Every structure is written in C-alpha cells, then in structure tokens.
A and B are shown apart, each in its own frame.
Chain A
Amino acid sequence: EAGVTQSPTHLIKTRGQQATLRCSPISGHTSVYWYQQALGLGLQFLLWYDEGEERNRGNFPPRFSGRQFPNYSSELNVNALELEDSALYLCASSPLAPQFFGPGTRLTVL
C-alpha cells in the first residue's frame, strides 16, 4: 500500500511570491492534515480537510490556504511569502486515527 506522498521535495521562493504544495493521501483516507515545522517552533497544526471541506484551521494568517479535491488529494497555498514561512511542511492522512505522515516539502524563502 502506497504511503502519503508530497511534492515537491524542496521549493525555493523569494519574498512576496506564492508557493503551492501538494499532498496525496493513502488510498481510502478522506482526511488530510497540514502541519508546519519551523526551526525552533516545533510542529504546528495548519489545516484539516475532510470530504472536500475545511474542518479546522490553526493559528495562521489567511495567506495560508488550501483545498481538497474530489480524489482527496490536497493543495496548500502560501501567498505573499515571508522569510519566516521557511519551514518543513508535513501532510498527514487518516481514516479517523491514527495519522500517517508524508515525507514533507522543505520550503525556503529567500
């Protein structure tokens, strides 16, 4: 069974640009979660999608948004990038519990 996949592996952007990160869940999982792991800040919850709808949102500005497609894959969009957005972005999927994580996308903002 294929695990959670994320693309791209690495992404380099400059301040003010937009970044799009993608996640494909494990087959049969309808929930997708996004987390940010910034240096020194630990793992923080960003967004939760289930059955195509946003179910919960962490304490992040509206520049962070996303969506879930009919096939349950998901996109995370970060607009107007700031230097502090540099982080590892992890996607997880679950039926309900437990959550299974992908390899992450490392975003660097210059």
Chain B
Amino acid sequence: AQSVTQLGSHVSVSEGALVLLRCNYSSSVPPYLFWYVQYPNQGLQLLLKYTSAATLVKGINGFEAEFKKSETSFHLTKPSAHMSDAAEYFCAVSDSYGNKLVFGAGTILRVKS
C-alpha cells in the first residue's frame, strides 16, 4: 500500500525566507507524486507533479520539488516566501493503475511579515 508522510503539521517562515516542506512516500511501484495547495474554503490546486521524467520539477508560483528515490522524498521548496503563499499544502502519491491519490496529512504554511 502507498502512503505519504509530511513532516511538520505547521511551518512558519518570514517573508522572503526559504520555504521547505517535507514529504516522504512509500510505494512498491514507481510513483507519481504531486503537491497540491489548498486555500481556506477552496478546493485543491495542483502546484506540480512528478511522473518519471526530470527529477527536479518546477511548478507554479515559483515552487519546485526534487524527487529523490534513494531517500523516498519529494520535498517542496521556494527560494523566497511571499505572504500569498500562506495556505495548506498536501503531498500525494498515486497508484500504478490510475489516478487515485493517497494524501499526506498536510502542512499549514504561515508567512510572517
């Protein structure tokens, strides 16, 4: 069975500082990995996805993530946080037969001015 672990339910950074949100996955097959962002009372919006092409994936709003098979990790980073980045972020893995997603518990990102 697939699973996702997100380290840190809450992360707080200063505006302009590096954002690092951690995600580790477990999968018995080559995974498809995703990061989604959720703003209050909104649905999930895709930030980026890894589908076995380049290991460094660039997404929207300046976010990127690196797939590291040896570490079973897919951490999300952004060089400089903006106030508008404050939201909840979910890492997810999909199985080999389609798009059913297994989500982590989420990390709430707070950006301080």
A joins B in a complex: no
Where the two chains meet, the residues of B that have a C-beta atom closer than 8 Å to any C-beta of A are: none
Where the two chains meet, the residues of A that have a C-beta atom closer than 8 Å to any C-beta of B are: none
